Amino acid sequence: MYEYLQKLPKCEHHIHLEGALTPELLFSMAQKNHIDLPEDDPAFLSPESLTARYRDFSCLDDFLGYYYIGMNSLLDVADFEALAWDYFQHAAQDGVAHAECFFDPQAHVSRGVGYDVVLSGFKAAQKRAQAELGISSELICCFLRHLPPPEALETLRSSPVQTSMKSGDVIGIGLDSSEKDFPPQLFQQVYDEARALGLRCTAHAGEEGPAEYIATALDDLRVQRIDHGVRLAEDPKLMQRIANDQTLLTICPISNVYLKCVTSVAELPIRTFLDAGVQFSINSDDPAYFGDNYILANYRAVQDAFSLTPREWAGICRAGIKGSWCDETRKKELMQRVQSVLDEWVARHDA
């Protein structure tokens, strides 16, 4: 079954490129760029001690503290390219065919790293991933919800960001960082302006925050997808609405365990969602921070907990293709690949 999961052409919709920064890469870039790591936290003694600390996050904000310190090590175009290339290589190994990647420009621009530096590095890695690994990819610009909404607006309206959106280098926007007490509606104007530019819209909701945030992301931000959304199961009426509208949830099972949203993958409402017809994809979120668990480890963890059938897995992959923001030709090609992997499995096992 694991072999079948590896072969399925997977779409990843919930991967923060900054969350693919391994402790090894973090330390080597900090040294190269003469960036001081915190001296008052013993976790920063070595890549090994940092890795050990990552096993012990108490909640989303505890993780985010390390996430924002980590990305301070990234400075020039080559750093951002190396980071994204490292992710794409893992993605290729895990059978990812198409990736829609988040990045957090505010966290770089605020420390003097230009938006175009970040984008150039990512674009170079994307081009290489397409040419050498056959992975198609897109970029989604996320806004940090713990910062004041006018700062997100200022970022959206800034000239390099506008240029990247009009050229198609960036195809959508997202909303991430601390969730509790930062409800989606705070960012309504940002989403209205992004939509007017023709951008796709998604937002993290229902990770630590209540199901109500999922409803306001839909109503006020008019998002096409919900990132995480696992708390949707607490509101059966909303769950039915999401199922009827075929809104895709981008679920990150191992992330939810690492950040103590649930105690185990088995606690996630995967079976409930399947029974209710809720469409979802399975994703890695911040793999370098969550035990080096990339997308396939998340597929495997769901399989270990829920024993899905090969047809159910093909259905999950089809839902992911349908909810992707790539062109119709690519979607058709990926649908055919899912079918042929399933056919091969049936020929071997069902007879």
- Active-site residue list: 207
User: Which residues does 127 contact at the CB level (< 8 Å), separation at least 6?
Assistant: none
User: Which residues does 145 contact at the CB level (< 8 Å), separation at least 6?
Assistant: 175, 176, 177, 178, 179, 182, 186, 187, 204
DSSP reduced 3-state for 203? strand
Which DSSP category does 285 fall into? B
The structure tokens listed for 121 are: 């590095």
Question: x/- contact string, 247-286, with ligand HPA (CB under 6 A)?
Answer: --------x-----------------------------xx
Minimum CB separation of residue 333 from ligand HPA in Å reads 30
If the CB atoms of residues 200 and 228 are measured against ligand HPA, the closer one turns out to be: 228
Could you give phi then psi for residue 333, rounded to 5 degrees? -60, -45
If the CB atoms of residues 86 and 285 are measured against Zn ion, the closer one turns out to be: 285
Distance CA 172, CA 170 (A): 6
Q: Is 204 known as a binding-site position?
A: yes
Q: Is 285 known as a binding-site position?
A: yes
Distance CA 158, CA 171 (A): 16
Question: x/- contact string, 40-79, with ligand HPA (CB under 6 A)?
Answer: --------------------x------x------------
Question: x/- contact string, 170-199, with ligand HPA (CB under 6 A)?
Answer: ------xx----------------------
If the CB atoms of residues 60 and 302 are measured against ligand HPA, the closer one turns out to be: 60
Minimum CB separation of residue 8 from ligand HPA in Å reads 24
Q: Is 286 known as a binding-site position?
A: yes
Q: How buried is residue 47: exposed, middle or buried, by Cβ count under 10 Å (0-12/13-18/19+)?
A: middle
Binding at 121: pick from ligand HPA, Zn ion, none (beta carbon under 5-8 Å per type): none
If the CB atoms of residues 213 and 345 are measured against ligand HPA, the closer one turns out to be: 213
How many of the chain's residues bind Zn ion (CB under 5 A)?
Answer: 1
User: Which residues does 7 contact at the CB level (< 8 Å), separation at least 6?
Assistant: 95, 341, 344
The structure tokens listed for 26 are: 């973090």
How many of the chain's residues bind ligand HPA (CB under 6 A)?
Answer: 11
Q: Give residue 346's identity as a one-letter amino acid code.
A: V
Distance CA 47, CA 57 (A): 16
Pairing verdict, β 10-16 and 172-176: unpaired
> Is position 19 an interface residue for ligand HPA (rule: CB under 6 A)?
yes
Residues 275-334 that bind Zn ion (CB under 5 A): 285
Binding at 207: pick from Zn ion, ligand HPA, none (beta carbon under 5-8 Å per type): ligand HPA
The structure tokens listed for 72 are: 């301070």
If the CB atoms of residues 10 and 204 are measured against ligand HPA, the closer one turns out to be: 204
Write down how long the chain is.
351
Q: Is 16 known as a binding-site position?
A: yes
Pairing verdict, β 96-103 and 225-228: unpaired
Minimum CB separation of residue 346 from ligand HPA in Å reads 36
* Contact residues: Zn ion, CB under 5 A: 285
* Contact residues: ligand HPA, CB under 6 A: 16, 19, 60, 67, 176-177, 204, 207, 255, 285-286
Binding residues for Zn(2+): 14, 16, 204, 285
